[in-house]
Copies of this chain bind each other. A is one copy, B any other.
Amino acid sequence: MDNLISIVANTPLFGGLSDEQLAHIGGITLEKTYKRGEAIFWEGDPGIGFYVVASGKVKVYKTSSEGKEQILHIYGPGHPIGEVPVFSGSRFPASAMAIEKSRLLFFPRKDFVDLISKQPSLALNMLAILSVRLRQFTVQVENLSLKEVPARLASYLIYLTEEQNSGEVVSLPISKGQLASLLGTIPETLSRIFNKMTLHKLITVQGSRIQLLDREGIEDLSSSGRLGE
């Protein structure tokens, strides 16, 4: 079983730090475990520190007044979550929940800010992480506003092939219901679109295994093409 320090040492945020510094970081962290479905924090809670996922899988999401959910990110091991209030404002802009049994490291805000002030490379690492997230958000806004649901699903499948690079078969890392929420739609609509894509011989679906039959066709669709009739 991996200890705190070795987890810390392997997350990109702490890349390039000396052993001594890693030990110090290990000293300020707190480990917590969460069951599947357990809340990590809620939108609007005061954020007195941030988390790094050590194992498991976590969703960060918003909920509408009618209860509809939009997932903003899904993060696995190595990703920080809830870092926005560390640097601005004081409340979490969204909620976070474990979608499987997860272990998280917690870093108190003040200790971390002290550390970052002394460690330019840590600051630059964090800047890089936030920049990547900004980039991802531009894509999410683009998807929601400028693309229809079939195109969003196609983009997601292409993203998965790159993530998993397992040839033409990918396996959905989350339930179809959660995927609907990530893509900004509902399970009924997602189901119908899987159907249409199957009819068009772009994919085959067996449970969470998706086979991509026509990579080029899927790419066309993802860059905002249409799915005929």
- Spell out A's residues near B (CB within 8 Å): 62-66, 68, 70, 72, 83-89, 93-94, 113, 116-118, 120-121, 123-124, 126-135, 137-142, 144-147, 184, 223-224
Contacts and interface: CB of A to CB of B under 8 A. Distances in A.
Contacts of A118: 120
Given A117-B120, A140-B141, 8 more contacts: A62-B138, A62-B141, A62-B146, A89-B132, A116-B120, A127-B127, A130-B131, A134-B137
Give the number of times this chain occurs in the complex, counting copies: 2
B93 A147 contact: no
B62 A128 contact: no
A141 B89 contact: no
A70 B65 CA distance: 25
29 contacts: A62-B141, A62-B142, A64-B142, A64-B147, A65-B223, A68-B146, A70-B141, A70-B146, A72-B141, A84-B131, A84-B134, A87-B124, A87-B127, A87-B130, A87-B131, A88-B127, A88-B128, A89-B131, A93-B135, A94-B138, A123-B124, A123-B127, A126-B127, A130-B131, A133-B134, A134-B134, A137-B138, A141-B144, A144-B184
Contact of A224 (B65, B113, B123, B126): B65
Contacts of A113: 124
A222 to B, nearest CB: 10
Contacts of A84: 131, 134-135
A133 B133 CA distance: 10
A223 B138 CA distance: 24
Nearest to A43: B138
The 3 tightest CB contacts between A and B, nearest first, are A64-B146, A123-B123, A137-B137
Q: Which of A118, A129, A146 has the most CB of B within 10 A?
A: A146
A89 to B, nearest CB: 6
A124 B128 contact: no
A81 to B, nearest CB: 12
Nearest to A185: B145
Contacts of A138: 62, 72, 93-94, 137
Given A123-B127, A141-B140, A135 B88 contact: yes
